[in-house]
């Protein structure tokens, strides 16, 4: 198995104006990311709008991704669905196409107990003979994976790690502490402002939405840390704060995708209805991108 580490991009899914997938632009974005030093490509994650793609679209996006990546970095497929049955079907599809890891978000909408979440992941892991990454993003799904549940799940051999997008540092630290019992259990930050903190504490990296906009910047947080250049890593980590501040104006996915468009890459809008941004927010985004360009961020 390829090691889970570094900065992985939840790559945005480019759309044409009619909301169909623009596979050619997806190929260009994959090359852009890898050439900038990104350590993994993650199609149809949150930033890839996995929540709004149907099963066939996911298959085609994953097929294009695996073909274009051509083994240069690991491919992480977001295969979590609301039901255990559909999650298994999507994960088996990803395995068949050749994904390296499946990332499984917690089921959403209906409230699940920790025991139900444990059984869900255990059943999927047993049905799919490939590495499974847990994905906790309670603000979006309504269901949080508690550290104790993650600790129990870490006892299943092919559950190889967890991504925490709770934004709660104590929760992320509690996930990383599981590595004391299982050193090869990878913990990734899903909050881009906590990447360096998590690396210092013993995490393995991040799945970073901002990498869609600034792939080289995000990749260098990890690279500088590994090289022992902590002050430089801190500077780079802090450099994305102004961009992240724009998230107060709307859905981060929408803002990230609009930013990629403003940089000159025709990735299109997010699928309706999740594609609005106020005039004030749009102007602030343009201002921040211009300021960052002057600083040489890319």
Give the H/E segment covering residue 161: strand 159-164
CA atoms within a 13 Å half-sphere pointing along the CA-CB vector of 283: 3
How is residue 149 written in tokens? 């549940």
Measure CA 96 to chain center. Answer: 21
Give dist(CA 102, CA 78) in Å, integer. Answer: 6
Is 163 an annotated catalytic residue?
A: yes
Environment class of 70 (CB within 10 Å of its CB; exposed 0-12, middle 13-18, buried 19+): exposed
- Residue 111 appears among annotated catalytic residues: no
Query: Could you say which of 51, 118, 121, 135 is catalytic?
Result: 135
| Cβ neighbours of 292 (radius 10 Å) | 19
User: Cα dist. 233→23, 144, 189, 230, 287 in Å?
Assistant: 34, 30, 16, 5, 24
Contact (CB, 8 A) for 145 and 136: yes
Angle between helices 55-69 and 23-35 (to 10 degrees): 40
* Alpha carbon separation from 242 to 123, 283, 287 (Å, rounded): 42, 14, 10
Give the active site residue among 5, 58, 163, 173: 163
Q: Please identify every residue annotated as catalytic.
A: 135, 163
């Amino acid at each position: 198995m390829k090691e889970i580490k570094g900065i992985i991009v939840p790559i945005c899914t480019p759309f044409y104006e009619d909301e169909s997938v623009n596979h050619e632009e997806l190929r260009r974005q994959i090359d852009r990311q890898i050439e900038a030093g990104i350590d993994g490509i993650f199609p149809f994650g949150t930033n890839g709008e996995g929540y709004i793609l149907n099963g066939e679209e996911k298959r085609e996006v994953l097929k294009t991704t695996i073909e274009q990546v051509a083994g240069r970095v690991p491919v992480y497929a977001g295969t979590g669905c609301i039901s255990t049955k559909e999650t298994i079907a999507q994960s088996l599809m990803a395995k068949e196409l050749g994904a390296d890891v499946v990332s499984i978000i917690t089921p959403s909408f209906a409230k699940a107990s920790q025991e139900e979440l444990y059984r869900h992941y255990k059943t999927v892991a047993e049905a799919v003979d490939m590495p499974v990454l847990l994905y906790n993003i309670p603000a979006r799904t309504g269901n949080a994976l508690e550290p104790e549940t993650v600790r129990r799940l870490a006892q299943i051999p092919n559950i190889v790690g967890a991504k925490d997008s709770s934004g709660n540092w104590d929760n992320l630290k509690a996930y990383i502490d599981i590595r004391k019992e299982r050193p090869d259990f990878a913990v990734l930050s899903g909050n881009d402002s906590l990447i360096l903190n998590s690396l210092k504490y013993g995490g393995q990296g991040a799945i970073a939405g901002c990498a869609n906009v600034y792939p080289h910047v995000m990749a260098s947080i990890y690279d500088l840390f590994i090289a022992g250049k902590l002050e430089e890593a801190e500077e780079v980590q802090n450099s994305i704060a102004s961009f992240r501040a724009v998230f107060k104006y709307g859905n981060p996915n929408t803002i990230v995708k609009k930013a990629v468009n403003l940089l000159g890459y025709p990735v299109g809008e997010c699928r309706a209805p999740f594609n609005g941004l106020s005039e004030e927010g749009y102007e602030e985004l343009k201002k921040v991108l211009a300021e960052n360009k002057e600083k040489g961020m890319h």
